[in-house]
Amino acid sequence: MSNLRFDDLRQHSDLLRSKSGEAIIVRFVEPRDADSIQNYFRGLSSNSRYNRFFGAMSQLSPALLERFIHVGEADQFSVVATMEVDGYETIVGEARYVYDFTTSSFEFGLSIDDRWQGHGIGQALMKNLECRAAAFGATKLFGDTLRSNAAMLGLAKKSGYVFGNSPGDWKLVRFAKQINLAPQDIPCASWKLAALSRNVSPAAIAG
Ligand SMILES: CC(C)(COP(=O)(O)OP(=O)(O)OC[C@H]1O[C@@H](n2cnc3c(N)ncnc32)[C@H](O)[C@@H]1OP(=O)(O)O)[C@@H](O)C(=O)NCCC(=O)NCCS
């Protein structure tokens, strides 16, 4: 399934829940998010930034920031996970993914704000990414992480990924998962939109 349209980015927003039930909205990044996404990365601990980008980095470079806020260019997509904190929409996590049409594979990386780590948000976001991958028609989902990143390795293991070497970099581990989701297990907007564009019966996409 790859009939996705991105003319209205908000149609692809999803509501997730943290372990304790807090509402988390996952939505595509928009150009108006440039400052808040940069502040989000500046606010991460240096350890989290290191783990996210595989090296020391204090903030996004101007070029990377541009790529983050222009969703869909070169088949690359960025989402933020937001919560309402003291009445304000606050970014508590992000993920970036790219879909490769030639191999039907979906590569991603993610991070959660240090203050919100351990609340089940990473796990919920990974599950949502699986659904977004299914919406493209992906058959495989994967990411790379530093061998020293116990949290990401633990999250990937818990989420059913298998581990292997990352081609070309011994410091990295590749975690991968085949996608085999039944429609009723996929509660994300992108999948429903893709299914509707192929005239799949609404009963088959309930969820
Ligand atoms: C890795 C990361 C995304 C995990 O997100 P999170 O929201 O804290 O994870 P969750 O609360 O959803 O945890 C889900 C499971 O992952 C595993 N896990 C999470 N943190 C862990 C840790 N520090 N050590 C070992 N396992 C851990 C556990 O199995 C956990 O389940 P449990 O809570 O029932 O024990 C987060 O630590 C992070 O953003 N790190 C910095 C950036 C980064 O490393 N990105 C990965 C690069 S691809």
Residue 2 maps to a domain: no
* Closest by Cα among 72, 12, 13, 27 to 197: 12
Question: Residue 85 belongs to a domain with what CATH number?
Answer: 3.40.630.30
34 and 69 Cβ atoms separated by less than 8 Å: yes
Q: What dihedral angle (degrees, nearest 10) is formed by the CA atoms of 33, 36, 43, 46?
A: 30
Query: Is residue 98 included in any domain, yes or no?
Result: yes
Q: What is the pTM of this model?
A: 0.93
How far apart are alpha carbons 24 and 18 in whole angstroms? Answer: 7
Q: What are phi and psi of 79, to 5 degrees?
A: -125, 155
Would the CB of 109 count as within 6 Å of ligand 1? yes
User: Could you tell me if the CB of 13 is within 6 A of ligand 1?
Assistant: no
Answer yes or no: is 107 within a domain: yes
Cβ of 190 closer than 6 Å to ligand 1, yes or no, is no
- Tell how far the Cα of 22 is from the centroid of ligand 1, in angstroms: 17
Kindly tell me if the per-residue pLDDT of 1 is higher than 70: no
- State how far the alpha carbon of 64 is from the alpha carbons of 76, 87, 104, 207, in Å: 12, 29, 25, 35
Atom of ligand 1 nearest to the CA of 157: 29
Is the distance from the beta carbon of residue 118 to the nearest atom of ligand 1 less than 6 Å?
A: yes
Asked whether residue 206 is domain-assigned, the answer is no
Q: What SS3 class is residue 88?
A: strand
- Ligand 1 atom closest to 149 (CA): 44
Over 50: is that where the pLDDT of 46 sits? yes
Q: Is 3 part of any domain? A: no
pLDDT tens-digit profile of 155-199? 999 999 999 999 989 999 999 999 876 655 667 998 888 887 776
- Asked, for residue 168, whether it belongs to a domain, the answer is yes
Domain count, the chain: 1
pLDDT digits (tens, 9 = 90+) for 15-26: 999 999 999 999
List Cβ neighbours of 195 (8 Å cut-off, separation of 6 or more). 1, 183, 204, 205
Q: Which token pair is 64?
A: 């990377």
Whether 52 is in the pocket of ligand 1, judged by its Cβ within 6 Å, is: yes
Cβ pair 122, 155 in contact under 8 A:
yes
**Is residue 56 included in any domain, yes or no?**
yes
| 1 within a domain of the structure (yes/no) | no
Which protein residue has the closest C-alpha to ligand 1 atom 27?
A: 151
Mean pLDDT value across the chain: 91
What is the residue range of 125's domain? 9-195
Amino acid making up residue 125 = L
What share of the chain has pLDDT > 90, as a percent?
75
The predicted pLDDT at position 207 comes to 40
Reported as a pLDDT band with limits 50, 70 and 90, residue 200 is: low
